[in-house]
Amino acid sequence: MGARVEVSHLNIVAQAGGKDLPLVTDVSFRIEPGEVLALIGESGSGKTTIALSLMGYARQGCRISGGTIRVGDVDVLGLSAGEQRSLRGRTVSYIAQSAAASFNPSRTIMDQVVESAYIHGLMPREQAEAKAVALFRDLALPNPQTIGQRYPHQVSGGQLQRLMAAMALICDPALVILDEPTTALDVTTQIEVLQAFRRVVRERNTTAVYVTHDLAVVAQMADRILVLRQGRQQEQAETRQIIESPQHDYTKSLIAAAKPAPRDAGRLVPDAAATPLLEVRSLVAGYGALDTRGLPSSPVLSDVSFTLHRGQALGVIGESGSGKTTLARAIAGLVAPAAARFCLTARRWRPMCRGAAATSCGACKSCSRWPIPR
């Protein structure tokens, strides 16, 4: 269950050259149980610094110099260092921006999701795993019964982000901090992940703080918004009021900046007769050993073709797991294609993949054995 969060006259400073430099100045807010408060503002405005302080944490070289923070009946800043460590993960949990950097690649997902539950002594391993599966299902993850047996590299970015949310929720925290957890995701996946986060927060009546600079995300997630600039609060109100009728000049500038810019009418239109800079034809790629037809056991790309002229920028878009990164890695020679034709500046070209990369991709043991027409 969520808890009321009250922050009063919070001040945080950075220590440099024997002086205290203000990072956060006199910030106050309150969040009711089950409510989502968004902290928004430009880079360096103090969003993450404030969010981390809710766990009693300040980055190295910084300190919380004044104010009070209460989560339910707990005076966070009045706790000892050991008591604050017990608070983290159990009463207050944190969902980071990069799920890939938050998981240990050498351990299964389930091992890492359930770890905090039995470290805090809340439940035995078997019960924690059953609860994790229920969270996987609530977060709309595929194959909730078995996805925990995979390793982090075996799921997509959007799935890993939701798995990190399961890790944060396994102890039923009173407060969840979401620090731009969808920034690295494509738009389609971002919507799915946000909907899953919002539904779980609502169903579990969890209090949440959402750190973001993206107003489109705010409109979907937050009940209230606190606008920050240079560590000072500029405006605080319900989401609809901030979006539709901002009062502060800085908030108005943020809303204006979020509007789509007009399309550039001066884009390069290539000469149809000009030789492409890069041409890719019939690219087939994936992971795992090749079958008898020469196709990878886990296909990712099938018959992908495109041309790119000098001065052009090609946007490769698609939902999580659609093959965007695999395409780029195949062109760079980091994934061995099962079949393809590459032309760079009108010359046949074969990206080179050497050493461990060629062996680990499963498609070949040496670059000379790639089944790519010359």
CATH of the domain at 349: 3.40.50.300
Task: Determine the pLDDT at residue 374.
Answer: 38
The pLDDT value given to residue 193: 76
Residues 6+ apart with CB under 8 A from 183: 97, 212, 214
This model's pTM is above 0.85: no
**Distance from C-alpha of 257 to C-alpha of 94, rounded to nearest angstrom:** 29
Pair (242, 307) in one structural domain: no
pLDDT over 90 percentage in the chain: 46
Asked whether residue 264 is domain-assigned, the answer is no
According to DSSP, residue 84 is labeled: H
Give the chain's end-to-end CA distance (angstroms, integer).
Answer: 63
Last residue of some domain: 204, 223, 257? Answer: 257
Crossing angle for the helix pair 187-203 and 125-138, to the nearest 10 degrees: 120
Contact 91, 42 (CB under 8 A): no
Alpha carbons 284 and 301: distance in angstroms, whole number: 5
Verify that 13 and 88 share a domain, yes or no. yes
Q: What is the pLDDT of residue 58?
A: 94
Which residue in this structure is represented by tokens 């595929």? Answer: 142
Least confident of 163-177, 208-222, 242-256: 208-222
Q: How far, in Å, CA of 245 to CA of 222, rounded?
A: 16
Distance CA 330, CA 319 (A): 18
Tokens 């599966």 belong to 133
Band of the pLDDT at 221, cuts 50, 70, 90?
A: confident
Residue 228: inside a domain = yes
Please tell me the predicted confidence (pLDDT) of residue 183.
73
Instruction: Report d(CA 27, CA 232) in Å as an integer.
Output: 6
Question: 284 and 246: one domain?
Answer: no
pLDDT band with cut points at 50, 70 and 90 for residue 366: very low
Q: Determine contact, residues 171/93, Cβ cutoff 8 Å.
A: yes
**293 and 194, same structural domain?**
no
**Are residue 229 and residue 329 in the same domain, yes or no?**
no
Split at pLDDT 50, 70, 90, the class of 346 is: low
Query: Domain containing 362: what range?
Result: 278-369
Whether residues 244 and 284 fall in one domain: no
pLDDT higher than threshold 90 for residue 162: no
Residue 350 CB neighbour total at 10 angstroms: 17
Q: How many domains would you assign to the chain?
A: 2
For the segment 314-336, the average pLDDT, to the nearest whole number, is 84
Q: Verify that 153 and 200 share a domain, yes or no.
A: yes
CB–CB of 180/190 below 8 Å?
A: no
- Both 297 and 206 in one domain: the answer is no
Categorize the per-residue pLDDT at 263 as very low, low, confident or very high, splitting at 50, 70 and 90: low
pLDDT at 50 exceeding the cut of 60: yes
Of 177-186, 191-200, 301-310, where does the model show the most confidence? 301-310
* Average pLDDT over all residues of the chain: 84
* Among the ranges given (95-99, 103-107, 242-246), the one the predictor scored with the smallest mean pLDDT: 95-99
In this structure, the chain runs to a length of: 374
Within-domain flag for 297: yes
More confident residue, 342 or 280: 280
Long-range contacts of 313-320 (CB under 8 A, 24+ apart): 317/186, 318/186, 318/188, 319/158, 319/186, 319/188, 319/189, 320/156, 320/157, 320/158, 320/159, 320/185, 320/186, 320/188, 320/189
Mark whether 209 and 118 lie in a shared domain.
yes
Residue 197 lies in a domain: yes
Residues 139 and 284 reside in one and the same domain: no
Q: Give domain status of residue 361, yes or no.
A: yes
**Is 271 within a domain?**
no
Q: Are residues 247 and 282 in the same domain?
A: no
In a domain, 234, yes or no: yes
DSSP percent split of the chain into helix, strand, coil, nearest 5? 30, 30, 40
| Domain annotation covers residue 71 | yes
Residue where a domain stops, chosen among 193, 226, 257:
257
> Of 206, 222, 257, which residue constitutes the final position of a domain?
257
Q: Are residues 247 and 308 in the same domain?
A: no
